[in-house]
Amino acid sequence: MPPAITALQTLQWGKETTRGTAVAATSKIAVEGIQFAADDEMARPRLAKGLLTSVPGDETVTRRGTTFSIPETPLVYDQHQHFLLGCVKGGVTSSPGTGAPETWTFLRSLTADPAPEARTLERRLSDGTNFIDNEWSYALFSQLRWIYAIDQPLRFAAEGFARRIQSSTLTAGQAMPTIAIPASPLAKIWIDATWAALGTTQITAQVLSADITFRSGLMPKWTLDGRTDLDWTTHILNPEAIGIDATIRMLIKADSGQFATEKTAAAAGTLRAVRLEILGASSNEFELDMLLKHQVPEIQTIGSEDGQDIVEMKLVNSTDGTEMFSAKLVNQVSTTT
């Protein structure tokens, strides 16, 4: 019997009505792969048995759970709302909701529960004849990352958590979403001083790449509820784990340009209202808005690329007391399932 062939792997999912109650998949997941890892604990007591070994037996399982990650993979317009619903904000519906194009707006509140939407993940491993089916319920995302690079599609990566692995039966007949992938060179970036001014000052002929990570603050929590499966009970929102990390690489203009503006803003510790936008075909669009500040009050790390001086700016999340982060997605579907 041959081993399982990676190219034959199937990944799919469905939206849960009740978090933690597994559901049948409703579509395939358009990613290059998902890596799963056990978030389990095994107690190994060193009982005085008179044995010359570091572990004299009696191991006891004390905790079960799963973490997972999606390595860098192309962003697909018609499916990315599911990732945003499970990370930035749940309960979002598209507008107009009756036909393409559909606009999804995910504004992260600083004062309300984001109410993320959990999903059941299904995976099939196969050698072409035989297969192993597994599923993970209550899947949520602890972070999403977007990578803008010249000569590359817009890519994203994700990290998340779910309940322990379970045997499953793959839901048959599921389809991929329509594959439309934005190209990173379509991206435009604006940097302003206030949320109200977002999208005013476009930075042209300077930005080389951008790397944005949104950390949701979502995490699993184990409580004493007599769960025989030893799995975690519920998710929580940890404010100390919420944040944004941004890295923007750009050319330095010696006479004027954004480097000089950002150097002044870093020294003064002023807000930077950053917008990244990609407009694709068929009205598809992906946009990130965020309030940031420079990580330190100075910018002086200078390198070289193709004989040109460049700078890499590190920024982190901040707020004006009302806003911090928003994502907008325009695609051709209105489903949240």
In single-letter form, the type of residue at position 233 comes to: T
Name residue, tokens 């297969």: 131
What value does the mean pLDDT take over residues 41-56? Answer: 95
Is position 336 within any domain?
A: no
Q: Which segments within 44-175 are labelled E, that is strand?
A: 60-63, 66-74, 102-108, 119-126, 131-149, 155-162, 166-167
Both tokens of 187, joined, read 């991206």
161-178 residue pLDDT tens: 999 999 999 999 999 999
pLDDT the model gives residue 301: 84
**Cβ–Cβ < 8 Å for 216, 87:** yes
Enumerate the H helices of 207-276 as residue ranges: 258-268
pLDDT the model gives residue 1: 62
pLDDT above 90: residue 302: no
Is position 337 within any domain?
A: no
Is position 296 within any domain?
A: yes
Query: ω before 182 within 30° of 0 (cis)?
Result: no
What is the chain's alpha carbon radius of gyration, rounded to the nearest angstrom?
A: 23
Buried b (16+ CB within 10 A) or exposed e, 259-274: beebbebbeeeebbbb
pLDDT the model gives residue 98: 86
User: Helix, strand, coil: what percent of the chain each, to 5?
Assistant: 10, 45, 45
Both tokens of 149, joined, read 């690079």
6-20 residue pLDDT tens: 999 999 999 999 999
What value does the mean pLDDT take over residues 149-156? Answer: 97
Provide the β-strand partners of residue 266: none
Kindly report the average pLDDT of the chain as a whole number: 96
What value does the mean pLDDT take over residues 298-322? Answer: 95
C-alpha–C-alpha distance, residues 144 and 329, integer Å: 14
Closest CA to 9 of 43, 34, 26: 34
In single-letter form, the type of residue at position 215 comes to: R
Is position 200 within any domain?
A: yes
pLDDT above 80: residue 90: yes
- Assign 40 a pLDDT band (cuts: 50, 70, 90): very high
Closest CA to 104 of 136, 82, 134: 82
pLDDT the model gives residue 300: 86
**Cβ–Cβ < 8 Å for 187, 43:** no
Both tokens of 316, joined, read 């982190």
**Cβ–Cβ < 8 Å for 185, 59:** no
**Cβ–Cβ < 8 Å for 6, 34:** no
Enumerate the H helices of 27-103 as residue ranges: 80-85
Is position 1 within any domain?
A: no
Closest CA to 259 of 297, 211, 306, 312: 312
Is position 202 within any domain?
A: yes
- Domains contained in the chain, number: 1
pLDDT above 90: residue 305: yes
What value does the mean pLDDT take over residues 20-25? Answer: 98
Is position 31 within any domain?
A: yes
Is position 19 within any domain?
A: yes
Give, as one character, the DSSP assignment of residue 216. E
What is the residue range of 139's domain? 6-331
Both tokens of 295, joined, read 């990580």
Closest CA to 317 of 271, 268, 265: 271
What value does the mean pLDDT take over residues 304-331? Answer: 97
Query: What is the pairing mode between strands 272-279 and 308-317?
Result: unpaired
**What's the chain's length in residues?**
337
203-251 residue pLDDT tens: 999 999 999 999 999 999 999 999 999 999 999 999 999 999 999 999 9
